[in-house]
Amino acid sequence: MNFPGQVKIVEVGPRDGLQNEAVTVPAEIKVQLVEKLADAGLPVIEVGAFVSPKWVPQMATSGEVFRQITRRDGIGYPMLVPNLKGLELAHAAGVREIALFAATTETFSQKNTNCSIAESIDRFNAVIDAALRLDIRVRGYISCVLGCPYEGEVSMDTVLMLAEKMFDRGCYEVSLGDTIGVGTAGQAQALVEKLARHVPVPQLAAHFHDTYGQALANIHAVMQCGIAVIDSSVAGLGGCPYAKGATGNVATEDVVYMLQGMGIDTGVDMDKLLEAGRFISDFLGREPVSRAATALLRKQAG
Ligand code: HMG
Ligand code: MG
């Protein structure tokens, strides 16, 4: 079996993780979380989102958080942006990288961004063009690549169409979102194999939520197809406000544990990662949603 020697982990906990929390997390806690994740050696940390605060109130402090963190050399700090207004706010805050998003079904697109798929393409094209003119790097997300909470099965052709459009317009990476964590390993592999005939696999990322407990298996499967970028969320935080019942992303601790065991380099320090997960879980008043973190913390406690 062919696995990458090295994997880049994109930590999405401060954005994808926290966006769904009902309790307002103060900006200073978010800042401390980002700093702890940076201490742990994560190479990319998605800090927040410039989306409508009416739609996702938890992200309303994202600009404040971004301005307060100490940006370190060698770490990417993307911010999620849905439209030109978000780009404007990101640019004003000094953001050097954004992530935009589109979905594979009309219903999810409407629920998440109040527009059709076609309108979302026009929107992201405009954002990509404007961002690149400002020398801001752009990452793309495609939501519901293995299933939609409203429409069920999705078409791989739509995933391919969106991925091609994002790459053609200038995204440097496209992340495949199993937003509701319904996919299984064979499906995930079939999707990547299909995409591989048209888009560069090293520039694809796996963004798997763990609702059905399939995320690690799916990551293991798609790494065999050449995927070497994995999105994950410390302590398994998260969910999408427009995908009811969807749980968090795969936990970063679980991914790092698996990759370390396979001899795959991530550059992440597990002890410091555990500290970051403990910190935010303590604030939220619950245990980390990570089997590896729970086991390792119990072992540490003796
Ligand atoms: P809309 O209501 O159609 O937008 O929402 P609008 O242009 O009519 O504006 C409405 C109000 O929002 C106006 O304010 C705008 O100024 C303001 P008002 O005049 O009423 O006071 N507004 C903004 N404010 C701040 N930042 C902005 C912005 N844009 C407009 N960027 C919109 C359209 C796209 C804005 C809205 O639907 C939205 O914000 N959606 C984001 C939803 C979201 O964040 N979802 C979760 C993230 S995606 C996800 O989790 C999936 C992912 O993880 C991958 C996966 O797992 O699949 C990425
Ligand atoms: Mg997500």
The tens digit of pLDDT for each residue in 256-295 reads 999 999 999 999 999 999 999 999 999 999 899 999 999 9
270-284 helix and 291-301 helix, angle to the nearest 10 degrees: 100
Question: pTM of the predicted model, to two decimals?
Answer: 0.97
Distance CA(210)–CA(236), nearest Å, equals 8
Enumerate residues lining ligand 1, CB below 6 A.
16, 19, 49-52, 54-56, 82-83, 85-86, 89, 101, 112-114, 141, 143, 177, 179, 207, 240-242
Q: Which residue is closest in CA terms to ligand 1's atom 33?
A: 113
Q: Which 3 state secondary structure label does DSSP give 251?
A: strand
Q: What is the mean pLDDT of the chain?
A: 96
In eight-state DSSP terms, residue 213 is: S
Please enumerate, as own/partner, the contacts of 192-199 that have beta carbons within 8 Å and a separation of 24 or more: 192/222, 192/225, 192/226, 192/227, 193/225, 194/156, 194/160, 195/159, 195/160, 195/163, 196/225, 196/226, 198/160, 198/163, 198/164, 199/160, 199/163, 199/164, 199/167, 199/174
Q: Are 256 and 36 in contact (CB under 8 A)?
A: no
What number does the ligand 1 atom closest to the CA of 19 have? Answer: 46
How distant, in Å, are the alpha carbons of 27, 94, 157, 212, 275 from that of 67? Answer: 10, 8, 40, 36, 23
The tens digit of pLDDT for each residue in 181-224 reads 999 999 999 999 999 999 999 999 999 999 999 999 999 999 99
Average pLDDT over residues 94-115: 98
Q: How far apart are the first and last CA of the chain?
A: 37
Residue type, 233: S
What are the catalytic residues? 240
- For the record, the structure tokens of 296 come out as 């390792």
User: What pLDDT sits at residue 244?
Assistant: 76
Which of the residue ranges 60-64, 136-140, 285-289 would you say has the lowest mean pLDDT?
285-289
What number does the ligand 1 atom closest to the CA of 145 have? Answer: 57
Distance CA(280)–CA(25), nearest Å, equals 10
- For the record, the structure tokens of 229 come out as 């970028």
Domains and CATH numbers, the chain: 8-301 (3.20.20.70)
Whether residue 171 is predicted with pLDDT greater than 90 in this model: the reply is: yes
pLDDT band at residue 240 under the 50/70/90 scheme: low
Q: Which residue is closest in CA terms to ligand 1's atom 20?
A: 54
